[in-house]
Structure 1
């Protein structure tokens, strides 16, 4: 979205059915609608089968990922290939050291970041999971604390992630699909930024905050936000999951007004059927 705001025409070609695969369904559907409204072209369930340079421009051949039929070609000035990352630990001499890896090549560690060799620790992208800098930093802290004699353990329940688009996208905990796959009964609250006084004064009303909680215990299982300052707002949700807080705990905490953080509070209130500034369904 940065290049689009600078005046570049952007087309996203995605093989899967949605952009941002792996994120919560509300975020992906909102993101796709918002980006299209901004002028971005999004082609999902589409594969690039070939590329040729013609008169200084690139001509991409496209195929429908489901029907396996050719689609109209597109022509562009630049092509950015972003299809993920692959682990490469082959040159580290892990086998000689006796350090075990999984079938994909990631180093196997326990929740204290210990490898199969007691004196060797590993952190960051080489151990798999979410390939995020802040996750790696926390793993480093845990490893150092354990080496120093502390009984520290890594907790992966609440590792936030953010996408720095406009608007921002942030998520922590389980997605709705992951929670249902784990047989949780859910109570879900949503609050649109359009109903936030602060978002309205900023002229940034697209998006929503979503809070999911266990219907039995009330504990927060996941929070997903697309909207202004989402990467900052997700910190409250991360703390809530770390502390086993409930949606009611967030809902009953006084949030300064007018602030964007009220969207998380209102989403938690909506999960309890008590939202103030929208109708509760």
Structure 2
């Protein structure tokens, strides 16, 4: 279906995508200007965040990109099965948490978790996700001027050539952006009905779970587990390592970790750290999970629902056979700081190159590849970046932990709320989003910590559990990298009540010649 000379509105794009998904339309969706004789500067194999943003950046620099994706829409898994549903579920978990803690008080009715449904939230998401798909297809074509072929599997022939449907396209460069999928561990019974990962959960869940076992301790485990528990589905996490201590998370402060995991347990979620999942039980459908705990004891957990949260791996076998590209020890494509693979003219971006599997990284490394392809040397540093996850809170951090800062700088100071050594809970840190907790459950209002190098007075780490502060951490990351000090923080203007209290707390200490903890 040639669409280059056709202008579809959002509603028309939604209808076309729907027709593809139900099988009414099977042909490729082609947006290519056949009258343009200019050569392709790059073919982006994959139109997720990395491919779409990379192609848009290359086009903005005067190049000619082509994006190819097997799905009938751009944007990849994030709006379709991953990031967007998890944010919806996390918001629902937060609302349900408020209702539980305040059940039967003020204007809150007695909480009845039988009215909260995992299946209803998934259905709500599925009914609305096409809006994002339609917009990205429209914007990429009409506003960004990027050409693409959708609803067609790409076959990489060599480092310059890709076959798509009945066509063959050649470019100066190839950018691999094919993403990653859940790593399925070798556990007996893993193929039974009732075992899901984040993607199949969205597509295939057709019953309301009553009990859940999550295998793995990743962000997915914590975020989806908190949502399931909030709906009243009793949830158990089986993690090989302590939560938030996996290799995919960096710079997690121990005090922050303790507050978060303790909060999950306080809400009824069972967490077995340092455990091993041995077998998924049942005939055709899941009935239980057999596991070995940290003390060596074996248990059987009754359940009708298992979620795999065991990390992700890319499908790279075909790329290795065709191109000979090198992989790292975890199976991801090895790239340098310019996104170049071991094969000249071939770049790799997004989840295909490994951790962090985050949206900002996908977009930035797509941009990095584009700039280098267009002759502008540019490197991407992923050694430090802000990170986050959701439980029923926003959990956000950037920079060094307290322990890492002590090891690096020796003399540090810590400003935190609530401070240690109090004889009763206080409602701090306090801001919009936590006011009801402050007056009803002060012990769960939130937690935050700022870490400073005492000699240079520079902020080197910030850590927060609460509400409304997440966006500030992208700016804190920028300021930390530029060496902002406690004195400069104290001179900034804050909004009252603001969720990240680092500015006013810095002001309480900035006047000290010799800094002390607060």
Q: What TM-score do the two structures reach when normalised by structure 2? A: 0.47
What's the CA shift for 1:137? Answer: 0.6
Q: Which deviations, in whole Å up to 9, do the C-alpha atoms of 1:169-194 show, x marking residues without a partner?
A: 11222333444555654322212493
State the match for 2:302 in structure 1: 75
Tell me if structure 2 keeps the 8 A contact 1:214–1:220: yes
* Distance in 2, Cα, partners of 1:241 & 1:156: 15
Q: Which deviations, in whole Å up to 9, do the C-alpha atoms of 1:31-81 show, x marking residues without a partner?
A: 11211222222222322222312796622223223x4x2244321221112
State the match for 1:201 in structure 2: 435
State the match for 1:221 in structure 2: 460
What's the CA shift for 1:197? Answer: 4.3
What's the CA shift for 1:266? Answer: 4.4
5 Å-filtered alignment, 1:259-274, equals 259-261=498-500, 263-266=501-504, 268=506
Residue 121 of structure 1 aligns to a residue whose secondary structure is strand
Residue 385 of structure 2 aligns to a residue whose secondary structure is coil
Tell me if structure 1 keeps the 8 A contact 2:429–2:445: no
State which structure, 1 or 2, has the greater radius of gyration over its C-alpha atoms.
2
Q: Which deviations, in whole Å up to 9, do the C-alpha atoms of 1:146-203 show, x marking residues without a partner?
A: 2233342212244222212211111222333444555654322212493244245353
Residue 332 of structure 2 aligns to a residue whose secondary structure is coil
State the match for 2:374 in structure 1: 148
* Distance in 2, Cα, partners of 1:50 & 1:273: 60
Residue 471 of structure 2 aligns to a residue whose secondary structure is helix
Do residues 238 (structure 1) and 477 (structure 2) align? yes
* Distance in 1, Cα, partners of 2:430 & 2:401: 27
Residue 114 of structure 1 aligns to a residue whose secondary structure is coil
Tell me if structure 1 keeps the 8 A contact 2:234–2:269: yes
What's the CA shift for 1:30? Answer: 0.4
What's the CA shift for 1:230? Answer: 4.0
Q: Which deviations, in whole Å up to 9, do the C-alpha atoms of 1:76-131 show, x marking residues without a partner?
A: 221112122234322114x6545333333333322222233442222222222311
Give 2:275's match in structure 1, choosing from 46, 49, 55.
46
Give 2:288's match in structure 1, choosing from 42, 48, 59.
59
Residue 231 of structure 1 aligns to a residue whose secondary structure is coil
State the match for 1:112 in structure 2: 338
Distance change >3 Å, CA 178–CA 257, structure 1 → 2: same
* Distance in 1, Cα, partners of 2:350 & 2:471: 22
State the match for 1:167 in structure 2: 393
Tell me if structure 1 keeps the 8 A contact 2:313–2:331: no
Tell me if structure 1 keeps the 8 A contact 2:429–2:446: no
What's the CA shift for 1:255? Answer: 0.5
What's the CA shift for 1:269? Answer: 5.2
State the match for 1:90 in structure 2: 317
Q: Which deviations, in whole Å up to 9, do the C-alpha atoms of 1:213-264 show, x marking residues without a partner?
A: 3333233332221111243232232222232322332233121112213x23
Matched length: 272
Q: Unpaired segments of 5 or more residues in structure 1?
A: none
Do residues 257 (structure 1) and 491 (structure 2) align? no
Tell me if structure 2 keeps the 8 A contact 1:108–1:116: yes
Do residues 7 (structure 1) and 232 (structure 2) align? yes
